[in-house]
Amino acid sequence: MSAFPQHFLWGAATAAYQVEGGHDVDGKGPSIWDVFAHQPGTTYQGTNGDVAVDHYHRFREDVALMAEQGLQSYRFSLSWPRLFPQGRGEINEAGVKFYSDLIDCLVENNIEPMITLYHWDLPQALQDEGGWENRATAEAFVDYARLCYARFGDRVKLWSTFNETVVFIGHGYITGSHPPSVRDPARAIQACHHVFVAHAAAVKAFRASQVAGTIGFVNVLQTHTPLTHSPADKQAAALADGIWTHWLYDPVLKGEYPAELLAKTQALWNVPQFATGDEALLKENICDFIGLNYYKRETVAANDRQTHLQANHSGERNSGHEFGFKDLFKFVRNPTGVYTDWDWEIYPQGLTEGILQIKARYGDIPLYITENGLGAKDPVIDGEVVDDPRIDYLKIHIDAIEAAMQQGADVRGYYPWSFIDLLSWLNGYQKQYGFVYVDHQNGLARKRKKSFFWYQALIASRGEKR
């Protein structure tokens, strides 16, 4: 008997910029990713989401595939500039219609929609006014959220506000590899604070709305293991936990920042600066669940020098460099680890450990595994996509979730990344994650991979058949 209950949701995930395409059609405004990816040298071989896999025009075909696979839930994000081309003000009704039709199509096929309001594609018009560093962006976000609750809340019960602060703030404002390409920790901390304010205010607005559902926040779950037993490496791993995890989970699950770190950032840089009422807003609007995106763990060591991020975006092993913050910590290669071609360590136990760490720190909060998957160049044999490594990866991670549930964790759903092959932000279309292959040489034709049928059988058996 598996530990997965009848009501457990077996789903899959995507995000707007990575699948939709239609970047400038039917009144959509530009997002920061549209602008960024059009600048030379920002992404792998100049790839962008202008067309992506054209889900905007082919969503009915894609939902039919989801239904055939037996998906019970589909996690996707809304493009804010498709709904508000200028970020606020005038509504683009064509954009509303697109999402409304998509939601109807899902519901008709008994697939529960799970909406992410923000998966990184901020309207460029708001970036031009300062983006997340400008508190007014948080206010615009709440108006945008209200529109979504009003137009889609009659059919959508599962909502989350933000996807992965560590990535869009960390890369946007610290490493500089995502828009708006800033490298300044103090600015990162203030921008991140406005994200927490936007989140809490959107949770408050959700509860004041008519929507009969739940709202959460999605974070990266990454466990940190010290490279050695030395006190310095142990301290480095603890710091990585503090900055990478507690700083980003505490405000949404406890309504406050971790006190020790807060004292440090305020002494160092005088951030985050709170406006009157922020503390109460965070405290009073703890979200209903947390979404966890798990791909890998990091091995951590003490570090005495600053290194700029140079990640592996080509899929050629060892083409990146180790990365760290001076006097805090660095991420290093685990000498005994098993790695993907993009140098991400495959370590399913980290998912069990991470879930249990969240439970230990935040109590019995409901959890959804909102992303998990293997990025790979899939093998093609006689025209069939034989993605056995993906099946193996997903299987051992489902086992890991089950182990956490057997130890009392309240996990309610699993959303492999991704339903369909899509654009990987900085790695192009060659880093494949999907159950469905997209043939870029043949009009973006869809093709079921081996993993499509494997997951279909798993869902039909409610997790028994792995």
Q: Does 15 sit near ligand BGP (CB under 6 A)?
A: yes
Instruction: Tell me whether residue 414 or residue 425 sits nearer to ligand BGP (CB atom).
Output: 425
Distances (CA, A) of 403 to 318, 354, 356, 369: 32, 12, 10, 14
* Minimum CB distance to ligand BGP, residue 313 (Å): 8
Catalytic residue chosen out of the listed positions 112, 133, 371, 402: 371
**What secondary structure does DSSP assign to 319-368, as a single string?**
-S--EEETTTEEEE--TT--B-TT--B--THHHHHHHHHHHHHH-S--EE
* Minimum CB distance to ligand BGP, residue 4 (Å): 24
Give the range of 31-39, 177-185, 419-427, 450-458 binding ligand BGP by CB under 6 A.
419-427
* Minimum CB distance to ligand BGP, residue 417 (Å): 5
Q: How many CB atoms lie within 10 A of CB 152?
A: 19
Tell which one of 48, 127, 293, 456 touches ligand BGP (CB under 6 A). Answer: 293
Closest residue to bound ligand BGP by CB: 424
Q: How far apart are CA 146 and CA 206, in angstroms?
A: 7
Answer whether 401's CB lies under 8 Å from 355's CB. yes
Q: Which two tokens stand for residue 86?
A: 């200028």
Instruction: Tell me whether residue 31 or residue 265 sits nearer to ligand BGP (CB atom).
Output: 31
**For 306, what's the count of Cα atoms within 13 Å in the CB-facing half-sphere?**
5
Strand positions, DSSP E, 62-131: 73-77, 112-118
Q: How far apart are CA 205 and CA 198, in angstroms?
A: 10
Per DSSP, the three-state class of 456 is helix
Q: Does 245 sit near ligand BGP (CB under 6 A)?
A: no
* Minimum CB distance to ligand BGP, residue 278 (Å): 26
Q: Which two tokens stand for residue 316?
A: 């050629």
Site for ligand BGP in 159-218 (CB under 6 A): 163-164, 167
Tell which one of 173, 249, 417, 452 touches ligand BGP (CB under 6 A). Answer: 417
Q: Does 425 sit near ligand BGP (CB under 6 A)?
A: yes
* Minimum CB distance to ligand BGP, residue 371 (Å): 6
Q: Does 354 sit near ligand BGP (CB under 6 A)?
A: no
Q: Does 222 sit near ligand BGP (CB under 6 A)?
A: no
* Minimum CB distance to ligand BGP, residue 58 (Å): 20
277: left (phi over 0), alpha (psi -120 to 50) or beta: left
What is the per-residue binding string for ligand BGP in 361-380, x denoting contact by CB under 6 A? ----------x---x-----
Q: Does 427 sit near ligand BGP (CB under 6 A)?
A: yes
Per the omega criterion (within 30 degrees of 0), is the bond before 418 cis?
yes
Instruction: Tell me whether residue 28 or residue 431 sits nearer to ligand BGP (CB atom).
Output: 431
* Minimum CB distance to ligand BGP, residue 167 (Å): 5
Q: How far apart are CA 268 and CA 290, in angstroms?
A: 30
Q: Which two tokens stand for residue 199?
A: 């989140």
Instruction: Tell me whether residue 124 or residue 427 sits nearer to ligand BGP (CB atom).
Output: 427
Instruction: Tell me whether residue 164 or residue 387 sits nearer to ligand BGP (CB atom).
Output: 164
Is 322 catalytic? The answer is no
Strand positions, DSSP E, 185-336: 214-226, 289-301, 323-325, 329-332
Which residue numbers are catalytic? 371
Enumerate binding residues for ligand BGP (CB under 6 A): 15, 18, 163-164, 167, 293, 371, 375, 417, 424-425, 427, 431
